[in-house]
Amino acid sequence: MSSATTSFEAKPPGERYPVDNAYDAAAAEKAGIWTARVTASSYGAPSSSGRTFKIILAALSLALSSFLFYDTFAWRSSKTITSDSYALCSRKGAQIYTVDPTHPRTECLVVRGDKFQTIGSLENIRAHAAGRLQVRYLEPGQIVVPGMSDSHTHVLEYGEKKQIPLEDTSSIEATVLRVRDYILSDPEVSNNKSKWIEGWGWDHTRWTLEQWPTSQAFEADPVVAGRPIMLRSKDGHAYWVSSAILQAMEPIPDEVEGGVIMRDSSGEPTGVFLDIAGDLVTAIQPPPTSSTLRKRLDVTVKDAHSVGLTSVHDAMLNPLPLEFFRREALAGTLPIRVYGMRYFDETAPYWGDSFEKIIRAGNNRLTVRSVKIIGDGALRSGGAALYEPYADNPETRGFMRVSPEVLNEFIPKFMADGWQVNVHAIGDRANGLVLDAFEAALASANVTALRPRLEHAQILAPKDMARFGDLGVIASVQPTHAISDMWFGEARLGPERVKGLYAFRSIIEHGARITLGSDFPVEDMNPLAGFSAAITRLSREGTSPHGPGGWFPEQRMTREEALKGMTLDPAYASFSEDILGSITPGKLADFVVLSKDIMKLPPQELLTTRVVATVMDGKPVYGVL
C-alpha cells in the first residue's frame, strides 16, 4: 500500500473532487477551497500560466495542511494508521472481496472503532463519512478479504510441535537425530535426563523404509538413551515412546478397546501406541506449566497472524488448556479468537447439564459451547472405521474409539442441553454411525439449529451423503489432507470406495455446508494452502495421481466456495456469523490484505501470495496499513 502523488486545482466553493489522499482532503475541507486528486494527466495539457498558478496553489495548500493538520501529515509520513476511523480503498476496480452476498465486491471499506462502518465507492464514502477520515490505498494487484478462520486446529499442540520439527525426516534414525540435536541445543534439557521431551510430526509412511519405529531406536544414541521421550505422529493418532516411558507405564494392559498396543514377536510392547492406547502415555505425562502454555500460544499466534488467521477453532480442549484460555480471555490477553470444543471423556461424569458455556468472553475472543467426540482412528494409521475391510489389509476394517451405544446415548443428551456436538469421523462406517446418532437426537433437540459438525468427514458412503443436507450437519473438512492422502488412498480403499474420499463437490451438491480447516499442526497452517488444494486438488508441485488436472477433479470447489469456506462458513459453524466472516457494516473489523488476487491468479501462482497485513478489531496485528 502506498500514498499517491497529488496535484491541486481551484474549484468554486462547495464543489469537490473525489478524495484520494487523507491529509490533502483534511486540509481541503478545512480551507473550503482545495481538494486533492491523484495525478493531473486527465486534465489535458494546461497552459504555462495555468501550470504556474496550480503549482503556487499546491504549495500554499500543502503548507496549510501541514500547519493545521500536522497529526494527519505525520500519519502519511509514517505510513501507519493513527486514528480509529479510516478508509481502505482500491484505485482500480472493486478489489475488496466482502463475502457478503448482498454486496460481494467493493472499492472501499470504512472502519470506525472496532467495526466496519460502511462499504462502497470512494465517492459514496466521502458523501457519508462524518469528519476527517484517513484513507489508505491498496498497491496494484493487492486485494482485501475478511479475516480468515481455520475450522479445525490444535493451537497449543502447534506450539509444542515447533520445538522439534520432525515432519520432513526420512527414517527412524534421522528422527532420532533431530531429538539429539534438540537435546544438545538446550542446556536445561541436556543437563536434566529426567525432563520429558515431547515432539510431533513423524510420518512413517514417508520414510524411505516404511516401518513402525520402536523404543529401542532411542537407546542406540548415547545422548538420547535413557530419557523420557514421547513423539506424536503427523496425524496425532500414534505415540512413539522411549524405554524410560515404557517402564514408567508398567503394568501395561494386554489390550485397550479403541486402540492398539504394538508388540514384538515375543509379545512385548515395542513403544508405539495407537489412538485410545495413547491415553496410557498421556496419563503419566507431566502437565505443562502456565508459562509453557503461554510460550506455545505465542508461537502459534505469531505464525497464525502472519498467514492471515484471525480466528481458530480448537478441536480438543482438555480441562487444563481450557482453563488457560479462559484466564487469558478474561485478562484481555488472548491475541486471537478461539472457538473451543471441550473434549468428551466417556469415563468422566456427564457435564453437559452443569458446565457453563463460555460465550464471547474477553472482547469476543473465546467461546466454548461445543463438545468434541472422537469417533474413530485415522486413515494413515489404518484406524479409520470402515464398512468393509481395508483393501491393503483385509484382516481389519479399522475401529471405533467410542461405541455406537455411547454415541446414541450422549449425542442426544448433549444436544438436549444446548451443546453443539462435533464428532471426529474419518471412515465411512464412523460417519454413518454418527449420522445415525444425529438422527436419533431429533426426538429431543432441533438438530439443525444446533449446527452439529462432522470433523473430517473423509470417507462417505453414497447412502450417507444425502443425510448431511437433510439434517443440517456441517462438514468440517481439511483440503490439505486430501493432497496428502491422495497418494495412498486408493491402495487403502480400492478403486471404487476411494471415490468417496474427500468428495467435497458431492457434499455441497447434497445440500451440506462445508467449512475449511487445516488440522494444524498435522498440516500446513497457511489457509491459502487449503484454498489451493480445494480448487486444484494438486500437490504444491502441481502433481497428483491423476495427473496435472487434479485428483478426482470433479470434486474441486470453486474459488468463491473456498473463500467462503474459510471466512463466512467458519463463522456460521461457530455461531458468530452476526459479528464475523464477512466485510459487512456492523461486524467486527477483521480483514486481511493479500499481495495478489487469489480469485483470479493462475493456480500455479496461488502459493506465491503473501499476507501484507492482518487486522483484528480494526487494528493491524501483523504488517501495517
**Angstrom distance (rounded) from CA 317 to CA 327:** 14
**Main-chain phi, psi angles of 73, to 5 degrees:** -60, -40
Domain harbouring 164, CATH code: 3.10.310.70
Q: Are residues 95 and 67 part of one domain?
A: no
The candidate with the shortest Cα–Cα distance to 108, out of 122, 93, 124, is: 122
Question: Residue 622 forms beta bridges with which residues?
Answer: 614
Q: Are residues 509 and 544 part of one domain?
A: yes
Task: Examine residue 175 and state whether it is found in any structural domain, yes or no.
Answer: yes
Pairing relation of β-strands 108-112 and 85-89? antiparallel
**Angstrom distance (rounded) from CA 482 to CA 496:** 17
Least confident residue range of 80-84, 435-439, 497-501: 80-84
In this prediction, residue 64 has a pLDDT band, given cuts at 50, 70 and 90, of: very low
Residue 71 pLDDT exceeds 70 = no
pLDDT recorded at residue 161: 85
Cell numbers placing 236? 496425532
Q: Are residues 417 and 357 part of one domain?
A: yes
Mean pLDDT score, 588-604: 97
The percentage of the chain sitting over the pLDDT mark of 70, rounded to a whole number, equals 86
Cell numbers placing 406? 455411547
Task: Examine residue 208 and state whether it is found in any structural domain, yes or no.
Answer: yes
Task: Examine residue 135 and state whether it is found in any structural domain, yes or no.
Answer: no
Task: Examine residue 136 and state whether it is found in any structural domain, yes or no.
Answer: no
Mean pLDDT score, 433-448: 93
Residue 573 pLDDT exceeds 60 = yes
> Exposure pattern of 552-573 as b/e (b: 16+ CB <10 Å)?
beebbbebebbbbbbbbbbbbb
Residue 29 pLDDT exceeds 70 = no
Task: Examine residue 492 and state whether it is found in any structural domain, yes or no.
Answer: yes
pLDDT recorded at residue 444: 87
Task: Examine residue 118 and state whether it is found in any structural domain, yes or no.
Answer: yes
How many residues belong to the chain? Answer: 625
Q: Are residues 518 and 377 part of one domain?
A: yes
Q: Are residues 621 and 547 part of one domain?
A: no
> Number of structural domains, the chain?
4
Task: Examine residue 19 and state whether it is found in any structural domain, yes or no.
Answer: yes
pLDDT recorded at residue 88: 95
Mean pLDDT score, 317-345: 97
In this prediction, residue 73 has a pLDDT band, given cuts at 50, 70 and 90, of: very low
The candidate with the shortest Cα–Cα distance to 368, out of 422, 309, 294, is: 422
- How is 400-467 classified by DSSP, letter by letter? BSS-HHHHHHHHHHHHHTT-EEEEEE-SHHHHHHHHHHHHHGGGTS-TGGG--EEEE--B--HHHHHH
278-317 confidence digits (pLDDT tens): 999 999 999 988 998 999 999 999 999 999 999 999 999 9
Q: Are residues 297 and 415 part of one domain?
A: yes
Residue 50 pLDDT exceeds 60 = no
Residue 34 pLDDT exceeds 80 = no
Mean pLDDT score, 109-137: 84
545-569 confidence digits (pLDDT tens): 999 999 999 999 999 999 999 999 9
CA quadruple 295, 297, 303, 308: dihedral, nearest 10: -150
- The model's pTM is 0.81
Q: Are residues 514 and 370 part of one domain?
A: yes
Q: Are 127 and 272 in contact (CB under 8 A)?
A: no
Task: Examine residue 341 and state whether it is found in any structural domain, yes or no.
Answer: yes
Q: Are residues 480 and 367 part of one domain?
A: yes
479-501 confidence digits (pLDDT tens): 999 999 999 999 999 999 999 99
pLDDT recorded at residue 466: 87
Residue 163 pLDDT exceeds 90 = no
Domain harbouring 103, CATH code: 2.30.40.10
* Cβ contacts of 548 within 8 Å, gap of 6 or more: 538, 542
pLDDT recorded at residue 131: 55
**Domain interval for residue 22:** 1-79
Residue 99 pLDDT exceeds 80 = yes
501-544 confidence digits (pLDDT tens): 999 999 999 999 999 999 999 999 999 999 999 999 999 999 99
pLDDT recorded at residue 1: 57
Q: Are 214 and 173 in contact (CB under 8 A)?
A: no
In this prediction, residue 80 has a pLDDT band, given cuts at 50, 70 and 90, of: low
Q: Which residue has the higher pLDDT, 168 or 504?
A: 504
In the listed set 282, 314, 349, which residue is the last one of a domain according to the structure?
282
In this prediction, residue 469 has a pLDDT band, given cuts at 50, 70 and 90, of: confident
Verify cis geometry, omega within 30 degrees of 0, for the bond prior to 521: yes
| pLDDT mean across residues, the chain | 87
Our CA angle for 273, 279, 281, nearest 5°, is 65
In the listed set 257, 282, 307, which residue is the last one of a domain according to the structure?
282
Pairing relation of β-strands 591-594 and 143-146? antiparallel
pLDDT recorded at residue 273: 97
Mean pLDDT score, 585-590: 98
The percentage of the chain sitting over the pLDDT mark of 90, rounded to a whole number, equals 77
Domain harbouring 555, CATH code: 3.20.20.140
In the listed set 250, 282, 314, which residue is the last one of a domain according to the structure?
282
Residue 506 gets which letter from DSSP? H
Q: Are residues 174 and 34 part of one domain?
A: no
The continuous run of DSSP H or E covering 126 comes out as helix 122-128
Q: Are residues 259 and 365 part of one domain?
A: no
In this prediction, residue 341 has a pLDDT band, given cuts at 50, 70 and 90, of: very high
In angstroms, the first-to-last Cα distance of the chain is: 7
Residue 41 pLDDT exceeds 80 = no
pLDDT recorded at residue 183: 96
Q: Are residues 503 and 433 part of one domain?
A: yes
Q: Are residues 299 and 195 part of one domain?
A: no
